[in-house]
Amino acid sequence: MARFGRLVTAMVTPFNDQLQVDYEKTEHLIDHLIATGSEGIVISGTTGESPTLSGAEKLALFKHAVMYAKGKCHIIAGTGSNDTAASIEFTQAAQSVGVDAVMLVAPYYSRPSQEGLYAHFKALADSTDLPVMLYNVPGRSAVNITAQTTLRLAELPNVVCVKEASGNLAQMAQIIEHAPEGFELYSGDDSLTLPTLSIGGVGIVSVASHVVGRQMTDMINAFLAGNHADAASLHRKLMPVFEGLFAYPSPGPTKVALEKLGIEVGGVRLPLVELNEQEKAFVHSLLV
């Protein structure tokens, strides 16, 4: 089914020279992503430097993206945090500007129990009419949404999919096997795109698609057409890009790669810092 498409990009946030959100660059980036295969775009996820964007900046980005790209691709707003009440308020604000769905990250830092995770996500889902994408990323949030908790949440009418960045294929397989009809699983790791498809996942919420979107689309289409050897070959060839874009703190490498391709997106906000010349040279080498 792939409600939001097979290839969804967790978009970087373009900045100007003063590290303020640049809306003209954002439009150019959206055009680039759509042209290279992205069927959905996540605005203000981790790759979008959400921790350093104010609420007002995020809402303005959501609104602009909806106005610019509505009908061309799905716009998914990253509205989750570790504050349930604040996340509810922000999710409702995002709904008011017309986004297609929201992505809700596991509450970071707080490390709630599984019951706490369920109550948090249920409260958020109950507060909106929008489709909800859960986002499990224990490497950043310090808490894993277990398969059992994901499956409980999947019973809620508007919890429609999960971005699984746990790296745990066994957990992912359990979710896919036991999920109610219509609930979908996306890989949250580019390097697991093909393995996830092979066990029944529907696609990828990607970072690498900023720079290899066409190749990833070819790989996904090859797999879906039954050309598994071709898909595997493409996946192997893309692995250096999948891994290299995380050789240094993300999204620094992705922004450098985009600049190399002629897509201007500016720098990164502190506490992230610009890549040095040696690091930039490594990123450039991935694109050869």
pLDDT at 263: 98
Which sequence positions are flagged as catalytic? Answer: 135, 163
In this predicted model, what pLDDT tens digit does every residue of 197-222 receive, in sequence order? 999 999 999 999 999 999 999 999 99
Whose CA is closest to 4, among 175, 163, 212?
Answer: 163
| Rounded Cα gap, residues 64 and 60, in angstroms | 6
The tokens for 204 are 């990828």
List, in order of start, the domains of the chain with CATH numbers.
Answer: 7-243 (3.20.20.70)
In this predicted model, what pLDDT tens digit does every residue of 85-138 receive, in sequence order? 999 999 999 999 999 999 999 999 999 999 999 999 999 999 999 999 999 999
Please determine, for residue 273, whether its predicted confidence score (pLDDT) is greater than 90.
yes
Supply the mean pLDDT for the chain: 97
Please determine, for residue 283, whether its predicted confidence score (pLDDT) is greater than 80.
yes
| Rounded Cα gap, residues 27 and 70, in angstroms | 12
Taking residues 271-279, report their average pLDDT.
98
In this predicted model, what pLDDT tens digit does every residue of 147-195 receive, in sequence order? 999 999 999 999 999 999 999 999 999 999 999 999 999 999 999 999 9
The tokens for 105 are 């990250």
The tokens for 109 are 């830092």
| Rounded Cα gap, residues 81 and 141, in angstroms | 10
At 78, which helix (H) or strand (E)? strand 74-78
CB atoms < 10 A from the CB of 249, how many? 12
pLDDT at 70: 80
- Tell me the whole-structure pTM to 2 decimals: 0.97
Cβ 261 vs Cβ 211: under 8 Å? yes
Residue 71's pLDDT band (cuts 50, 70, 90): confident
- Which residue bears the tokens 């009908």? 71
